[in-house]
Chains A and B, each alone.
Chain A
Amino acid sequence: MAGRAQPVSPWPGAGAAALVAALILGTLAAVALRAETSAGFGPADWAALRFTLVQAVLSAVFSVALAIPVARALARRRFPGRRALIALLGAPFILPVIVAILGLLQVFGRAGWISEVLGLFGLSPLRIYGLHGVVLAHVFFNLPLATRLILQAWQEIPAERFRLAAQLGCNGTAMFRLIELPMLRRILPGVLAVIFAICLTSFAVALTLGGGPRATTIELAIYQAFTYDFDLGRAALLSALQLALTVVAALAALRFSQGDGFGAGLDRAIRRWDGGSPLFDVFWIGTAAAFLLLPLAAVVISGLVGLFEMPALVFRAALISVLVAAASTAVLLLLALPMATAVATGRYGIVELCGILGLAASPLVIGTGLFILIRPVANPTTLALPVTALVNAVMALPFALRILVPAAQDVVTRHGRLALSLDMDKKTFFTRVLLPRMQPQIRFAAGLSAALSMGDLGVIALFADPHIATLPLQIYRLMGAYQMQAAAGAALLLLLLSMGAFWLLDRGGRLHAET
Chain B
Amino acid sequence: MKHLMIAAGLLSATSAMAADKPQLTVYTYDSFVSDWGPGPQVKEAFEAVCDCELNLVGVEDGAALLSRIRLEGENSDADVVLGLDTNLITAAKETGLFAPSSVSAEYALPIEWSDDVFAPYDWGYFAFVHNADTPAPANFRELAEGDTKIIIQDPRSSTPGLGLLLWVEAAYGDDAPEVWAGLADNIVTVTKGWSEAYGLFLDGEADMVLSYTTSPAYHLIAEEDASKAAAAFDEGHYMQVEVAAKLAGTDQPELADQFLEFMVSDTFQQIIPTTNWMYPAVTPASGLPDGFDTLITPEKSLLFSPEEAAAVRDQALAKWLGALSQ
Set of chain A residues within 8 Å of B12, measured between Cβ atoms: 382, 465, 467-468
CA distance A281 to B265 in the complex (A): 69
Pair B320/A230 contact, Cβ less than 8 Å: no
The proximity string for A residues 378-409 relative to B, scoring 1 for CB distances below 8 Å and 0 otherwise, is 01011111100100000000000000000000
> Number of B residues whose C-beta is below 8 Å from A?
66
Q: Which of B1-54 contact A (CB under 8 A)?
A: 1, 3-5, 7-8, 11-12, 14-15, 30-31, 33-37, 39
The proximity string for A residues 93-116 relative to B, scoring 1 for CB distances below 8 Å and 0 otherwise, is 000001001100110011110000
A168 interface residue per 8 A CB criterion: no
The proximity string for B residues 167-194 relative to A, scoring 1 for CB distances below 8 Å and 0 otherwise, is 0000000000000000010011111111
B115 interface residue per 8 A CB criterion: no
CA distance A327 to B198 in the complex (A): 34
- A151 → B minimal CB distance (Å): 33
B110 interface residue per 8 A CB criterion: no
Q: Which of chain A's residues has its CB closest to B149's CB?
A: A110
A371 interface residue per 8 A CB criterion: yes
Q: Which of chain B's residues has its CB closest to A210's CB?
A: B189
The proximity string for B residues 212-226 relative to A, scoring 1 for CB distances below 8 Å and 0 otherwise, is 000100110010000
B196 interface residue per 8 A CB criterion: yes
Q: Which of B41-97 contact A (CB under 8 A)?
A: 56-61, 63-64, 66-67, 70-72, 77, 91
Q: Which of A5-13, A221-229, A243-251, A268-276 lies at the binding interface?
A: A221-229
Set of chain A residues within 8 Å of B196, measured between Cβ atoms: 98, 101-102, 204, 208
CA distance A383 to B4 in the complex (A): 10
CA distance A212 to B157 in the complex (A): 12
Pair B63/A386 contact, Cβ less than 8 Å: no
Q: Contacts A98-B195, A213-B325, A481-B31 given; indicate if A228 touches B188 (C-beta within 8 A).
A: no
CA distance A477 to B70 in the complex (A): 24
Pair A211/B188 contact, Cβ less than 8 Å: yes
Pair A220/B156 contact, Cβ less than 8 Å: yes
Q: Contacts A323-B7, A382-B12 given; indicate if A212 touches B189 (C-beta within 8 A).
A: yes
- A203 → B minimal CB distance (Å): 7
Set of chain B residues within 8 Å of A379, measured between Cβ atoms: 77
Q: Which of B137-145, B199-207, B288-296, B299-307 lies at the binding interface?
A: B199-207
CA distance A483 to B67 in the complex (A): 28
Set of chain A residues within 8 Å of B30, measured between Cβ atoms: 461, 464, 476-477, 480
Other-chain residue from B39, B190, B203, B219 in contact with A102 (beta carbon distance below 8 A): B203
A81 interface residue per 8 A CB criterion: no
A331 interface residue per 8 A CB criterion: yes
B321 interface residue per 8 A CB criterion: yes
Pair B14/A467 contact, Cβ less than 8 Å: yes
Q: Which of chain A's residues has its CB closest to B73's CB?
A: A34
CA distance A311 to B34 in the complex (A): 12
Instruction: Please indicate which of the listed interface residues A34, A371, A382, A487 has the most CB atoms of chain B within 10 Å of its own CB.
Output: A382
Other-chain residue from B4, B190, B277 in contact with A213 (beta carbon distance below 8 A): B190
B154 interface residue per 8 A CB criterion: yes
Pair B33/A226 contact, Cβ less than 8 Å: no
Pair B60/A462 contact, Cβ less than 8 Å: yes
Pair A482/B198 contact, Cβ less than 8 Å: yes
Q: Contacts A111-B203, A379-B77, A479-B199 given; indicate if A207 touches B154 (C-beta within 8 A).
A: yes
Set of chain A residues within 8 Å of B66, measured between Cβ atoms: 227, 230
CA distance A372 to B75 in the complex (A): 12
CA distance A469 to B277 in the complex (A): 22
Q: Contacts A129-B188, A212-B190, A313-B35 given; indicate if A324 touches B71 (C-beta within 8 A).
A: no
Given contacts A101-B200, A320-B7, 20 further A-B contacts (CB under 8 A): A47-B325, A102-B199, A105-B205, A112-B205, A213-B154, A214-B325, A220-B192, A227-B64, A331-B1, A382-B12, A386-B1, A461-B30, A464-B57, A464-B58, A477-B35, A479-B198, A480-B195, A482-B218, A484-B202, A487-B199
20 CB contacts below 8 A, A to B, read A109-B203, A112-B205, A204-B193, A207-B190, A208-B196, A213-B190, A220-B192, A226-B67, A227-B61, A227-B64, A323-B3, A330-B1, A385-B8, A386-B4, A386-B8, A389-B1, A464-B59, A481-B37, A482-B277, A484-B198
The chain B residues found within 8 Å of chain A, CB to CB, are: 1, 3-5, 7-8, 11-12, 14-15, 30-31, 33-37, 39, 56-61, 63-64, 66-67, 70-72, 77, 91, 149, 154-157, 184, 187-196, 198-200, 202-206, 215, 218-219, 222, 277, 320-321, 324-325
